[in-house]
């Protein structure tokens, strides 16, 4: 069965383990977006995201800010989803990070709607595929939104 937008929210994506087809939560109007054309851009994305997560838009930290441990989880999840899109997806690839109050929403988009994220099952650890389990473990919600010409992989992580 070829993946398509007709899978519908909440229906399992074939081979996707616990990653289901579903729309992301409401996306705020403003966020930070990275257009990615290769893996060399990931280090700058991680640096930008870490700064944004821990300091906001150059504002002093407040009691409601993301703590350092939570920020590192968000950076790891952002990097994992973005690097998967670059490795297995098609151009254009974008990664977005949105502040949703108590959570951060990561949305990664690429044009390879037929190439769905598949967590490793029954293969040696050295062959990869375990990052999706880590992202799922860190997340309060996660999923895949599949359209005929692109897909969005998303994860929502707590600030604390």
CB 113 within 8 A of CB 149: yes
Of 50 and 119, more confident: 50
How are beta strands 103-110 and 20-21 bridged, if at all?
Answer: unpaired
pTM of structure = 0.82
Residue 154: half-sphere exposure toward Cβ, Cα within 13 Å: 23
Q: What residues have CB less than 8 Å from 19, skipping those under 6 apart?
A: 13, 116, 117, 119, 132, 136, 142, 143, 144, 153
How many other C-beta atoms are found inside a 10 Å radius of the C-beta of residue 100? Answer: 15
Strand-pairing partners, residue 155, are: 106, 142
Average pLDDT over residues 133-154: 94
Segment 29-83, tens digit of pLDDT: 889 999 999 999 999 999 999 999 987 754 444 444 568 999 999 999 999 999 9
Strand-pairing partners, residue 141, are: 156
CB 154 within 8 A of CB 145: yes
Locate 64 and state its tokens.
């409601």
Segment 70-117, tens digit of pLDDT: 999 999 999 999 999 999 999 999 999 999 999 999 999 999 999 888
Strand-pairing partners, residue 105, are: 98, 156
Nearest by Cα to 144 from 28, 26, 25, 19: 19
Residue 8 Ramachandran class (φ > 0 left, ψ -120 to 50 alpha, else beta): left
The predicted pLDDT at position 43 comes to: 97
């Amino acid at each position: 069965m070829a993946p398509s937008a007709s899978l519908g929210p909440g229906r399992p994506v074939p081979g996707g383990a616990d990653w289901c087809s579903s729309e992301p939560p409401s996306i705020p109007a403003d966020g930070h977006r990275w257009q990615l054309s290769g893996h060399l851009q990931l280090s700058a994305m991680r640096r930008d995201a870490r700064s944004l997560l821990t300091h906001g838009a150059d504002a002093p930290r407040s009691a409601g800010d993301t703590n350092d441990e939570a920020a590192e989880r968000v950076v790891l999840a952002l990097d994992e989803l973005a690097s998967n899109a670059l490795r297995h997806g098609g151009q254009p690839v974008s990664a977005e990070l949105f502040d949703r109050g108590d959570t951060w929403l990561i949305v990664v988009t690429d044009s390879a709607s037929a190439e769905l994220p598949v967590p490793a099952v029954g293969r040696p650890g050295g062959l990869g595929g375990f990052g999706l389990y880590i992202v799922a473990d860190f997340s309060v919600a996660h999923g895949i939104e599949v359209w005929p010409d692109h897909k969005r992989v998303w994860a929502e992580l707590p600030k604390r």
